[in-house]
Structure 1
Amino acid sequence: MWLRTLRRYSGAVLVGNLVWEAVQLPLYTLWKTGTVRDLAIAVIHCTAGDVAIAASALVIALFLAGEETWPRRRFGAVASGAVAIGVAYTIYSERTNVLVLRTWAYGDLMPVLPWLDVGLSPLLQWLLVPAAAFAWARRA
């Protein structure tokens, strides 16, 4: 059962993040400055990173909150832990890449949470996509 749950979760994370990355492109400066090729590479690159982050967050959450009978038991603890880890990493990554390294920049359309200096879209992405993926995986 755990393998089917992992497969469903991973597939949903991949599709959800691919769609989210494509839809949120207009919120970044790359939307105006990049070529079609640049935009495609950004979506693929960011989606691959999202999948790696989601997998890492899940493994850490399983290590900290899971047990041998997962997902039958402690599913909620593992799911909420993985989402929290993903959100925490997103806050760190967005702040580092936007404010320090300047790897990417928010466009004028990106709502920014002033107390965090983090875009609302990536934060919502890491709340909603993994939560929906866990809900889908649980249906297995």
Structure 2
Amino acid sequence: MLRPERVGTRLGRAVGALTDTPEFNVAAFALLLNFAWEILQAPLFVGMAEMPHAQVTKACLQATVGDAVIMLLAYGVVAVVVRSRSWILASKGWQLSLFVAMGVSITAGIEWLATRGYWMASWSYLPTMPLVPGTDIGLVPLLQWIVLPLLTVWFVRRQLPHRAQAATETETAS
């Protein structure tokens, strides 16, 4: 028979093992940072100011989940390229550039499709949304994928300092 204190210890270790992974931390910070960004940029989209609060929150939550998927996809692409899940803890400039470029590229594609009615959902910008010249794509959604991936890296490195130190030591030993 399992004793409760042993079950709690095993569960604690399992949760600790999960929360100690770079992927979990990327997802957690992606959700937190992107939700705030989505709420802040909502007034730049047609109809958001007139929607009930709950509807805006739901729309922003849906976008945030999509953002987290994009962030994990971009993280995964870099992990495959460098053959290391810990790349984020001691990344080189080109790795960060690839991470950011993946998010910007995916988002540019989604924004282009959505503003033309070819995406699962469609949306329009208000005149207050600055546009990337020649593309009619909103600048704010693209800036999201320059700023937030870098902030995510910064937070993950601080959340997992013992892993970051080990990754740095491995990099210098190679």
Query: What TM-score comes out, normalization by structure 2 length?
Result: 0.70
Q: Deviations over 1:28-49 (max 9, x none)?
A: 0122342223211111100010
Q: CA RMSD in A?
A: 2.4
Q: Which aligned pairs between 1:77-88 and structure 2 lie closer than 5 A?
A: 77-88=94-105
Q: Choose 1 or 2 for highest CA Rg.
A: 2
Which stretches of structure 1, 4 residues or longer, exceed 6 Å deviation after superposition?
Answer: none
Q: Which aligned pairs between 1:1-140 and structure 2 lie closer than 5 A?
A: 3-64=20-81, 66-68=82-84, 70-71=86-87, 75-76=91-92, 77-101=94-118, 103-139=122-158, 140=160
Query: What TM-score comes out, normalization by structure 1 length?
Result: 0.86
One-letter code aligned to 1:70: S
One-letter code aligned to 2:132: L
- 1:27, 1:107 within 8 Å by CA — same for their partners in 2? yes
Structure 2 unaligned blocks of 5 or more: 1-16, 161-174
Sequence identity percentage = 26
- 1:67, 1:74 within 8 Å by CA — same for their partners in 2? no
CA distance in 2, matches of 1:108, 1:73: 40
Structure 1 unaligned blocks of 5 or more: none
- 1:6, 1:137 within 8 Å by CA — same for their partners in 2? no
Deviation of 1:122 (Å): 0.2
CA distance in 1, matches of 2:132, 2:88: 37
Higher RCO (C-alpha 8 Å, min separation 6): 1
For these two proteins, the number of residue pairs brought into alignment is 139
CA distance in 2, matches of 1:113, 1:85: 18
